[in-house]
């Protein structure tokens, strides 16, 4: 069973979608990527709920969480994750893409709030590093089209490999992504140094890598090993950056045996 709910945490309204797991299951807080409202992760969360009680966050400026003239820095997003986690009794924190960067910074700010971390294909870009592989127009252009009602075919041009259901859902919800929030997050991929946060992960942690993308390449994988050998690494071979969209079963195989 899935249902949405709102809480006030870190001073704003935070909306989440909950998927009930087995009785007494450990809680998992899932923080999606840069333009993924919580509802777009339903097809993943309902499978994760075989193990965890899953709570998927609408990151501020997206979905049904508070939006508008807010602080959209990485530190603000990390503090949101911490505040939400404090209401969930030390959950596992799973973050995808931007969400994984949020997870790293949240651990630096308050490691006691989480039981462990699953970091799914975090952008490894940053100051004096190579650029994030995706370019801004892919985000900015699609958001501007969504603001005036993007058609299915227009959205398919941005996401040609996705299923019809996934494309339709993105077309329905992308307009909820605040342009300024997305722009600041994208710019932050190049200005925020998340590598400084990697050595501080002391609780169980796993890095899940899209083998068919270059967001976390072989050099990045070695750098993570050097910075924190305790972080386990799993590769989903052939999957693009949106790993569950490309290979849901491969993604589940990479995460469902995580223990914290």
Work out the average pLDDT over 86-115. 98
So what's the pLDDT on residue 237? 98
Strands 92-96 and 116-120, bridge-based pairing: parallel
Is 235's pLDDT higher than 90? yes
Answer whether residue 157 shows pLDDT above 90.
yes
Q: Is the pLDDT of residue 127 over 90?
A: yes
Of all residues in the chain, the percent with pLDDT exceeding 70 is 100
171 pLDDT exceeds 90? yes
Does residue 173 surpass a pLDDT of 90? yes
Residue 100's pLDDT is: 98
Structure tokens at 57: 């966050």
- Tell me how far apart the alpha carbons of residues 35 and 98 are, in angstroms, rounded to a whole number: 9
Look at residue 1 and tell me whether its pLDDT is greater than 90: no
- Kindly state the average pLDDT of the residues 133-145: 96
* For range 151-179, the mean pLDDT: 97
- Give the chain's mean pLDDT: 97
pTM for this entry: 0.98
Residue 20 scores a pLDDT above 90: yes
Residue corresponding to tokens 């490999």 = 161
Domains of the chain, with CATH numbers?
A: 2-130+191-255 (3.40.50.1820)
């Amino acid at each position: 069973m899935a249902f949405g709910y709102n809480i006030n945490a870190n001073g704003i309204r935070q909306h989440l979608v909950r998927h009930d797991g087995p009785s007494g299951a450990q809680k998992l807080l899932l923080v999606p990527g840069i333009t993924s409202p919580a509802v777009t992760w339903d097809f993943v969360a309902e499978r994760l709920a075989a193990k965890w009680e899953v709570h998927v966050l609408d990151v501020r400026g997206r979905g049904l969480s508070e939006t508008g003239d807010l602080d959209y820095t990485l530190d603000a997003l990390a503090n949101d994750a911490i505040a939400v986690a404090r209401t969930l009794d030390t959950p596992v924190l799973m973050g995808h893409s931007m969400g994984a960067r949020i997870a790293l910074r949240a651990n630096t700010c308050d490691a006691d709030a989480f039981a462990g971390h699953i970091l799914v294909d975090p952008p490894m870009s940053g100051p004096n590093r190579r650029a994030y592989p995706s370019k801004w127009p892919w985000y900015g252009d699609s958001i501007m089209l969504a603001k005036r009602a993007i058609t299915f075919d227009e959205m398919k041009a941005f996401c040609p490999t996705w299923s019809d259901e996934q494309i339709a859902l993105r077309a329905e919800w992308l307009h909820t992504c605040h342009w300024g929030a997305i722009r600041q997050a994208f710019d932050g991929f190049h200005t925020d140094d998340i590598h400084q946060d990697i050595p501080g992960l002391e609780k169980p942690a796993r890095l899940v890598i899209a083998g068919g993308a270059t967001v976390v390449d072989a050099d990045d994988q070695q750098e993570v090993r050097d910075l924190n050998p305790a972080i386990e690494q799993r590769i989903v071979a052939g999957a693009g950056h949106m790993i569950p969209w490309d290979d849901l079963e491969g993604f589940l195989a990479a995460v469902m045996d995580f223990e914290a």
